Chain A
Amino acid sequence: MTVMNMVQAINAALKSEMLQDDRVICLGEDVGRNGGVFRVTDGLMDIFGAERVVDTPLAESAIIGAAVGMAARGLRPVAEIQFLGFIYEAMDQMASQAARLRFKSGGKFSAPMVVRAPYGGGVRTPELHSDSLEALFLHTPGLKVVMPSTPYDAKGLLTSAIRDEDPVLFLEPMKLYRAFSEDVPEEDYEVEIGKAKVIQDGNDLTIISWGQSIHTVQKAVKEWEEQKNLSIEIIDLRTIAPLDLDTIIQSAKKTGRVMIVHEAVKSGGVGAELAALISEKAMFYMFAPILRIAGFDTPYPFPMVEDEWLPNVERINKAIEEMLSYS
C-alpha cells in the first residue's frame, strides 16, 4: 500500500498498464513534456518516450478520431481531453464513431479505447472548464462512462477501462485531484465497471451520487446523523453507463426514499434516468417523491456564483428534511 491522491493513483494506473501492455499509448494536448495541465501524466514521457506519450496538435476531433483508428487496428489508446467541456469539439468522433463502430460493423470492428477528461466545479475556472456532461454520454449507446470519487476507485476503474473491449469515457473530478489521499495498492487491480458501491448502509433514506458530489453528500449526512437518530444509505454510483440497476433498486426498496445529487444541470440529467428507473421498478415501495438536488438549468455559472449554484450541504439538508416529512 502507498498513500496516494487521485492524480497519483491515475498516474499509477497508466504507468502500470503501459508497462504490461505495449499496445497502450497516451495521447492528447500537453500530456507529454508538460505531464498534463494537472500533471496526471507526469513522468510518463520520460519512461515510455514520445512515441507512446504523444503531445498532439491542438485538435480534439483528431485526438478522438485517431484513437478510434488506432484502437480498431489493435492499439489501446488512452486519449486525454484537457477539460470535459472541450469534448463537444469531438462529439462526432465520440458519439457517432467510437460508440457505434462495433454496432455498425456487425461486431467485425470495435474501438477499445479510453477517453480521460477532468470535469466538475468549485475550482474557479474560466468558462467551459467545469461542466458535468455525463448525461450526454449515458444517452449514447455503445459508450461506457466511469466517474470515480476516490483514489482507490480511480486506479482500479482506470485499469478496468484500459482492459475493457469497449470505448470508456473516464471522468476525473478536478476538485478531488489533490483533495485527499488514501491507501492504494502498489500492484495493479481492477474495480469492476458497472458496479455501484454502497458506502454507507442505512434504512430511512437512500442518497445516490457520484464524483465530487459524493463528498458533499457525506458532509450533509454526517451533520444530520449527529443531530437526529437517522440512518441514511449512501450509494456512490461510480459507473454512469451501464447503470448498476440491482444495487439501486434494492436500496430503493429497502428505504422507500431516494434522493439523487449531481452537479450537472437538473433537466435531462442522470438523476432523471435514475428516478425513472426507480419509478418503473420500485414505485410501490416509495414513501416520498424521488428528489433531485442538482445544478440549476443554466449554463455553468461564472466563478463568483458557482458555490451557490452547485449542490451544497444546505440544499441537501433541506431535501432530507422534506423527504423525511413523508412517512
Chain B
Amino acid sequence: MNWINESCVTVDMFQLLNEGGKLVGEKPDIPDDKLLQLYKQMIFSRVFDERALKLQRQGRIGTYAPFTGQEAAQVGSAAALDKGDWVFPSYREVAVSLVRGVPASQSLLYTMGHHSGSGDPDAHMFPVQIIIASQTLHAVGSAWASKYKKEKQVSVAYLGDGATSEGDFHEALNFAGVNSLPVIFFVQNNQWAISVPLSSQTASKSIAQKGIAYGLTSIQVDGNDVLAVYETMKKAVQLAKEGKPILIEAVTYRQGPHTTADDPTKYRTKEELSAWKQKDPLLRMKHYLIHNHLWNETQEEEETAIAEQKMTEAYQTAIQTPRSGLDDIFQNVYHKKTSNLEEQQNSSKRGEVSV
C-alpha cells in the first residue's frame, strides 16, 4: 500500500534577501532604477498605512485594514504585472492598488464610506472584496475570458491564509487547473485570520502545497523579501500565460491589528510581533540598497517627506470630493432604473412616505 501524506511534500521557501538584507541567492537581473522604484513604492505604502491609521483614530475615516509588514508581498507582486493584467483584490490590498496607479484618495474615499471608493477599470482593478475568497472565482472567470478572447494577459487573485479554508478557494483552484487558465492565486500568508493562527486554519505544512491537489504549479516565497517576490511573480506571469495556473504563498506578517476595530493583544504575544518586526520588509530592502551604495539616510528622509506630502494631498482631494447623498444610492442598482426605484427616489426627495 502506498499512502500519500505530508512527508511526500517538500516545500523550500524561495528567498533572495535574508533578514539582514544580504543577498543569499543568485543576484537577480533587476536594473538599479527598478530596485529604487520598488523601495520608494514600499515607502509610500507604509506612509499611506500609517496616515490612514491616524485618520481613523481621529474619526476622519472609517474602519481600516492596515497592511504594515506586507509591503514587499504587495508591491513586489504588483510591480511584476503589466498594465493589461487584471487584479482581484481583497480589502487589504491598498499597496497593490497604489502600484497599479489607483489614486491614494480613492482608497481614502472607500474607507470614508463614499460610493465611488471601490474598483478601478482603468487600473484593471476589481472592487474591494469583503467576502473572503469570493474574488478567486472572479479571477478564474476573468482568466477564462482572456483565454476565450485569445488575449495575452493574466488575472491575479489576492487572498489571505484564512481564505484558503473557504470552499470558493478550492473550487477556484480546481476550475483553474481543469481549464489550464492564465490565473495566479497570490496568497499573503500573514499568519493570522483575525484571531485564528495558521496552525488552526490548516493541517498542511504549507499553503503552497494545496495547489498540487488541483494540478497547479506552486511556490512558497519569502513575502518580506521584495526581490524574491518580484522575481517569483515575473516567472509566474510567464507560466500562467502558457496556460499553467499558479499558486503563490508569500510568507509574511500582519504587524498591525486585523482592522482598526481589532485588538491583537487578545490573541498574540508581544514576542511574536517583535520577532517579525526583525524581518520587516522595508528594513531589509533598505539595508540591501545602502550596502550596494544605491541609497542613504538623506534620500530616505527626502523620500519619506515626499510620501507624506502626497498623502496630505490625497486626503485633501478626498475631503473635497462632494459627499455621497441619498440620491446616489438609486443609481447603479440596475443598468436602467426600475420604475419602483424611480418612485422611491422621487418620494424620498419630496419627503413623502413611499407607498
Residues of chain A at the chain B interface (Cβ within 8 Å): 29-30, 32-35, 37, 55, 57-62, 85-86, 88-89, 124-129, 266-267, 289, 291, 293, 296-299, 301-306, 308-309, 314-315, 318-319, 322
Please report whether the interface of chain B is mostly helix, strand, loop or mixed according to DSSP: loop
Could you list 18 A-B pairs, sorted by A, with CB under 8 Å? A33-B267, A37-B262, A57-B162, A57-B196, A86-B132, A89-B166, A125-B63, A126-B91, A127-B130, A289-B355, A297-B340, A298-B329, A298-B333, A302-B324, A303-B112, A305-B325, A305-B329, A315-B353
Whether A34 pairs with B195 at a CB distance below 8 angstroms is yes
Contact string against A for B residues 259-286, beta-carbon threshold 8 Å, 1 for contact and 0 otherwise: 0011000110000000000000000000
Closest A-chain residue to B64, C-beta based? Answer: A126
Complex-state Cα separation, A128 to B353, whole angstroms: 26
Chain A minimum-CB-distance residue to B266: A34
Chain B positions near chain A (C-beta within 8 angstroms)? 62-63, 91, 112-115, 117, 128, 130-132, 162-163, 165-168, 193-196, 200-202, 261-262, 266-267, 323-326, 328-330, 333, 340-341, 344, 348, 351-355
- Please state if B348 and A296 are interface contacts (CB–CB under 8 Å): yes
Residues on A with beta carbons closer than 8 Å to the beta carbon of B341:
296-298
From the candidates B163, B267, B324, B329, name the one contacting A34 in the complex (CB within 8 A): B267
User: Is A30 a contact partner of B195 (Cβ separation < 8 A)?
Assistant: yes
Please tell me if the beta carbons of B200 and A55 are within 8 angstroms of each other in the complex: yes
Nearest CB in chain B: distance from A91 CB, A? 12
B324 and chain A: residue at smallest CB distance: A304
Q: When A33-B266, A86-B131, A127-B130 are in contact, do A301 and B329 touch as well, CB less than 8 Å?
A: yes
Evaluate contact between B201 and A58: CB separation under 8 angstroms: yes
Are A304 and B194 also in contact (CB < 8 A) when A57-B202, A59-B166, A298-B329 are?
no
Closest to A34 in B: B195
Which residues on B sit within 8 Å (CB–CB) of A89? 131, 166-168
> Chain B nearest CB: distance from A314 CB in Å?
8
Q: How far is the CA of A124 from the CA of B110 in the complex (A)?
A: 12
- Distance of A92 Cα from B324 Cα, bound (Å): 36
Partner of B326, one of A86, A126, A309: A309
Contact B333 A297 (CB under 8 A): yes
- A303–B113 CB distance below 8 A: yes
A293–B348 contact, CB under 8 A? no
- The residues of B that contact A58 with a CB separation of less than 8 Å are 132, 162-163, 165-166, 193, 196, 201
Q: Which residue of A lies closest to B202 (CB)?
A: A57
Least distance between B55 CB and chain A CB atoms (Å): 14
Shortest distance in angstroms between A259's beta carbon and chain B's nearest beta carbon?
A: 9
Known A-B contacts: A59-B167, A125-B63. Give 16 more (CB < 8 A): A37-B194, A58-B193, A59-B166, A62-B165, A85-B131, A86-B132, A126-B91, A126-B130, A127-B128, A289-B355, A291-B355, A297-B344, A302-B114, A303-B112, A314-B351, A315-B353
